[in-house]
Amino acid sequence: MAMTDQQIERYSRHIILKEVGAKGQKKLLNASVLIIGAGGLGAPAAMYLAAAGVGKIGIVDADEVDLSNLQRQIIHSTADIGKPKVKSAKETMNAMNPDVEVKTYHKFVDSTNIRELIREYDFIIDGTDNFPAKFLINDACVMEKKPFSHAGIIRFKGQLMTYVPGEGPCYRCVFKNPPPKDAVPTCKQAGVIGAMGGVIGSLQAMEAIKYIVGVGDLLTGRLLTYDAVNQEFRKIKLPHDTSKCPVCGANPTITELIDYEQEVCEETAGRFEVKDENN
Amino acid sequence: MSEVLEFDEQVDITDKVCPLTFVTAKVAIEELDDGQVLAIRMNDGEPVQNVPRSFKEDGHKILKLNDNEDGTYTLFVRKVEE
């Protein structure tokens, strides 16, 4: 499949890169990514992936655009208030790049629908704001052998890691179980700097693009944390023994998906032994 | 008259401006097999300065640059697969 002159021009800054080229751009055009959550993280991720020409992008979100979203969810505009986020996101992405097929799912993911949803995509982006969804996405991706990017943001902090089947720990290897209900404040209660979604969501898009093109190293077995107050990034080596993990280990005890009941977004790192690569 | 080498494919980038000059030629060479030769017709000036250098940076082999004596040049590049 040859690229059109318009595509060659649109993606020229990709094609010119030795690591991408026409070959890499075609991989992007033939790839599919599912973004779960069209919020602070999903907005920039969706926009960069659409701009990059990822051929098919799915977006899942049950919410409507709210005035309080607009401080960080840059895919939505003031005129979109009240619209389903997936619809507003699709309009922005279509306007940006007609090469991209955007599929929308105006619903929550749960144990009954997520496996089927992720099955038709090459890479999954977790842009959700609560632990039940994060564990659900992890377990479903492990079961369906799908790579995904986990991320979380709160206040002035953000973190992300990437799971690739067979190439390092999953989210549950590291974080075991959701924290007790109300132990951790939600973004709603705690607040978050809008640009944090831009930093971390863009890094998630970068992971997806690198996975698709096949360049460099991903954040597998590593947790990247960002502290905006001190402008500090840290790359933390995660425990590499996955054999005892209840979902991705040798003898998994979690073989069915779980719908946890709670709504919290997460605090950065700290619930496991960390080894800072800079030390 | 300048010598014309044998080539497998040709592309004309005289209607392009930087960076689409190189990008268009690069897309064309990616379609070739290892060892095949691409002939690229380009304008004098910026393309002649930059396109051969960019191909060299990508690891391909520059065979010859012919002056067509009409304000254009033809560059012959042998594809070197990584």
pLDDT tens track for A13-30: 999 999 999 999 999 999
pLDDT of A187 over the 50 cut = yes
Tokens 């599919």 belong to residue = A32
E strands, B1-82, in order: 9-12, 37-43, 61-67, 72-78
Predicted model pTM: 0.90
| Residue among B24, B26, B57 minimizing CB distance to A21 | B26
- B82 pLDDT tier (thresholds 50, 70, 90): confident
Q: Is B27 within 8 Å of A16 when comparing Cβ atoms?
A: no
Residues 6+ apart with CB under 8 A from A228: A156, A157, A158, A193, A195, A196, A199
Q: What integer pLDDT is reported at residue A262 of this predicted model?
A: 62
Q: Which domains does chain A have, with CATH numbers?
A: 10-276 (3.40.50.720)
Q: What integer pLDDT is reported at residue B5 of this predicted model?
A: 84
Q: What is the DSSP letter of A155?
A: B
pLDDT of A270 over the 50 cut = no
Helix (H) or strand (E) holding A6: helix A5-10
Cα distances (angstroms) measured from residue A152 to each of A58, A125, A216, A220, A244? 20, 11, 23, 16, 25
pLDDT of B4 over the 90 cut = no
Q: What integer pLDDT is reported at residue A268 of this predicted model?
A: 40
Could you say which residues from 59 to 78 on chain A have a Cβ atom under 8 Å away from some Cβ of chain B? none
CA A254 from chain center: how many Å? 23
Set of chain B residues whose Cβ sits within 8 Å of the Cβ of A2: 31
pLDDT of A129 over the 60 cut = yes
Q: Is B23 within 8 Å of A23 when comparing Cβ atoms?
A: no
| Residue among A8, A13, A21 minimizing CB distance to B24 | A8
Query: Of B57, B1, B54, B5, nearest to B25 (Cα)?
Result: B54
Q: Per residue in A228-264, pLDDT tens?
A: 999 999 999 998 888 899 999 999 999 999 999 864 4
- A141 pLDDT tier (thresholds 50, 70, 90): very high
> Which residue type is seen at A116?
E
Q: What integer pLDDT is reported at residue A261 of this predicted model?
A: 80
Both tokens of A238, joined, read 């995660």
Strand partners, A65: none
Q: Per residue in B35-79, pLDDT tens?
A: 999 999 999 999 999 999 999 999 999 999 999 999 999 999 999
Distance in angstroms (rounded) separating the CA atoms of residues A161 and A169: 10
Residue A239 phi, psi (nearest 5): -55, 130
Q: Which domains does chain B have, with CATH numbers?
A: 9-78 (3.30.110.40)
